[in-house]
């Protein structure tokens, strides 16, 4: 899967940020590549538990991270796991399912091994399509919300063309809206980017 993205963000301290570029994801090799063209020309590559920042074909930074690619919206879409955000195949378990007007809300609980650092997750679906997700910490405080909209069918795959992401820092909101366009599946051009080589 590949396409174009625009990220408009507003941080808790009031700063506005704009990022524009293209994304590439191959579910077989589970490598996620962002080729940013604004505000800087740089490439971000997520593979396994590492995130690389590459500029002028040089690794400028490497960060350890959870396996971002397999929990990305691209992987979830290609593997038909968007509706449950991939939790159905995780160690989280369902504790409650309830219907509110036109939405079905499912509450997921973390396994005992994560209970000291993670809390429950609430997923809302409209017409069997993911609408929103709420992440809580171990004390039941909301730390993140995501909303998914403007779904389009791309070669049989339902994909949200707009994602609103709200994270909370010291009770202040960090607000980010990501929009996608020209999304393709099984695209044969730009093959280099799907398996972007990490410079030595």
Tokens 């080589």 sit at which residue?
197
For residue 24, pLDDT beyond 90: yes
- Burial group, residue 82, by CB count within 10 angstroms (0-12, 13-18, 19+): buried
Q: Please enumerate in sequence order all residues whose Cβ is within 8 A of that of 174, keeping only pairs 6 or more positions apart, or say none.
A: 9, 10, 11, 12, 166, 167, 168
Tokens of 139: 């004390």
Report the pLDDT value the prediction gives residue 186, as an integer from 0 to 100: 87
Taking the C-alpha atoms of residue 66 and residue 125, their distance in angstroms, rounded to an integer, is 26
Q: Do 70 and 30 form a contact (C-beta atoms < 8 A)? A: yes
Instruction: Find the range with the poorest average confidence among 44-48, 113-117, 132-136.
Output: 113-117
| Geometric angle at alpha carbon 56, from 51 and 59, rounded to 5° | 30
8 Å CB contact between 103 and 126: yes
Tokens for 84? 């449950």
How many Å apart are CA 6 and CA 36, to the nearest integer?
10
Cα gap 119→103, rounded to integer Å: 22
pLDDT digits (tens, 9 = 90+) for 43-53: 999 998 899 99
List all residues 6 or more positions away from 184 whose beta carbon is below 8 Å from its beta carbon: 1, 2, 3, 154
pLDDT in tens, 42-98: 999 999 889 999 999 999 999 998 778 888 999 999 999 999 999 998 899 999 999
**Domains defined along the chain, listed by start:** 2-194 (2.50.20.10)
Model confidence at 141, in pLDDT bands (50, 70, 90)?
very high
**pLDDT above 90 for 103:** yes
The pTM (predicted TM-score) of the whole model is 0.91
């Amino acid at each position: 899967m590949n396409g174009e993205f625009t990220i408009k963000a507003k941080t808790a301290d009031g700063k506005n940020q704009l990022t524009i570029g293209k994304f590439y994801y191959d579910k077989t090799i589970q490598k996620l590549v962002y080729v940013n063209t604004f505000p800087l020309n740089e490439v971000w590559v997520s593979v396994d538990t590492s995130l690389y920042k590459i500029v002028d074909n040089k690794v400028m930074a490497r960060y350890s991270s959870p396996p971002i690619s397999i929990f990305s919206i691209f992987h979830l879409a290609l593997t038909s796991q968007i509706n449950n955000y991939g939790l159905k195949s995780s160690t989280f378990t369902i504790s409650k399912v309830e219907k509110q007007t036109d939405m079905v809300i499912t509450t997921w609980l973390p396994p005992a091994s994560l209970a000291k650092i993670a809390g429950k997750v609430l997923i809302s679906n409209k017409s069997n399509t993911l609408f929103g997700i709420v992440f809580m910490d171990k004390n039941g405080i909301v730390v993140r919300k995501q909303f998914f909209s403007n779904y389009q069918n791309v070669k049989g795959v339902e994909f949200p063309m707009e994602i609103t992401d709200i994270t909370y820092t010291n009770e202040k909101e960090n607000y980010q809206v990501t929009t996608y366009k020209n999304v393709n599946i099984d695209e044969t051009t730009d093959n280099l980017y799907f398996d972007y080589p990490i410079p030595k």
